[in-house]
Structure 1
Amino acid sequence: MYLADEAWPDLESYFEAESLALVPLGSTEQHGPHLPEGTDHVIAEAFAREAAARTGYLCTPTVNIGVSPHHRQFPGTMWVDAPAFRDYVESFTRNLAYHGVDRVVFVNAHGGNVQHLREVGRRLRDDGVAYAVEWMWDESIPDVVEEAFEHNGPHGGPKETALIQYLHGDLVHDDRLEDAHAGGVETITPALTMQNGARTYYDAVENSENGVFGDQTDATAEKGEELFEAASDQLVQLCEWLAEREWEELAPPAPVRSE
Structure 2
Amino acid sequence: MANKYEMIYMTRDEIEKRFKETSIAILPIGALEQHGHHLPLGTDVIIAEELSKRVCTETGALLLPAVSFGYSWVWRNIPGTISLKQHNVEEIIKDTATSLNRYGVKTLIVINGHDANNASMKYAARELEDEIGIKVIYLFYPDMNDVIEKIMESDTWHGLIHACEFETSLMLAIKPEVVHMEKAVKEYPNKPLLYGKSTISLGDLSKSGVYGDPTKATKEKGEKLLKIFTEKIVNIIKSIDS
What letter corresponds to residue 194 of structure 1 in structure 2?
L
Structure 1 match to 2:222:
224
Q: Deviations over 1:162-206 (max 9, x none)?
A: 0001100011111011xx21xx326x6xxx1424x9624433122
Structure 2 match to 1:171:
178
Structure showing the higher helix proportion among its residues: 1
Alignment partner of 1:155 is 2:162: yes
Within 5 Å, which residues of 2 pair with 1:180-199?
A: 180-181=185-186, 184-185=187-188, 192-195=191-194, 199=197
State how far apart, in whole Å, the 2-side matches of 1:27 and 1:121 are.
19
What letter corresponds to residue 170 of structure 2 in structure 1?
L
CA contact (8 A) 2:154 2:165 kept: no
- Which stretch of structure 1 is more off in the superposition, 8-17 or 159-168? 8-17
- The Cα of 1:208 is off from its aligned counterpart by 1.2
CA contact (8 A) 1:106 1:132 kept: yes
Specify the structure having the higher radius of gyration (Cα).
Answer: 1
Alignment partner of 1:83 is 2:81: no
State how far apart, in whole Å, the 2-side matches of 1:10 and 1:212 are.
43
| Counterpart secondary structure, 2:27 | strand
TM-score, normalisation: structure 2: 0.91
The alpha-carbon distance between structure 1 residues 126 and 149, as it changes in their structure 2 partners (threshold 3 A), is farther
Alignment partner of 1:62 is 2:66: yes
| Counterpart secondary structure, 1:85 | helix
State how far apart, in whole Å, the 2-side matches of 1:207 and 1:199 are.
15
Count of aligned residue pairs for this structure pair = 234
Which structure 2 residue ranges, 5 or more long, are not aligned?
Answer: none
Structure 2 match to 1:207:
205
TM-score, normalisation: structure 1: 0.85
- The Cα of 1:54 is off from its aligned counterpart by 1.3
What letter corresponds to residue 6 of structure 1 in structure 2?
M
- Alignment RMSD, CA only? 1.7
Which structure 1 residue ranges, 5 or more long, are not aligned?
Answer: 247-259
Structure 2 match to 1:10:
14
Structure 1 match to 2:57:
53
CA contact (8 A) 1:69 1:79 kept: yes
Alignment partner of 1:146 is 2:146: no
| Counterpart secondary structure, 1:116 | helix
- Over the matched positions of the two proteins, sequence identity in percent amounts to 26
State how far apart, in whole Å, the 2-side matches of 1:131 and 1:98 are.
13
CA contact (8 A) 1:71 1:77 kept: yes
- Which stretch of structure 1 is more off in the superposition, 102-111 or 203-212? 203-212
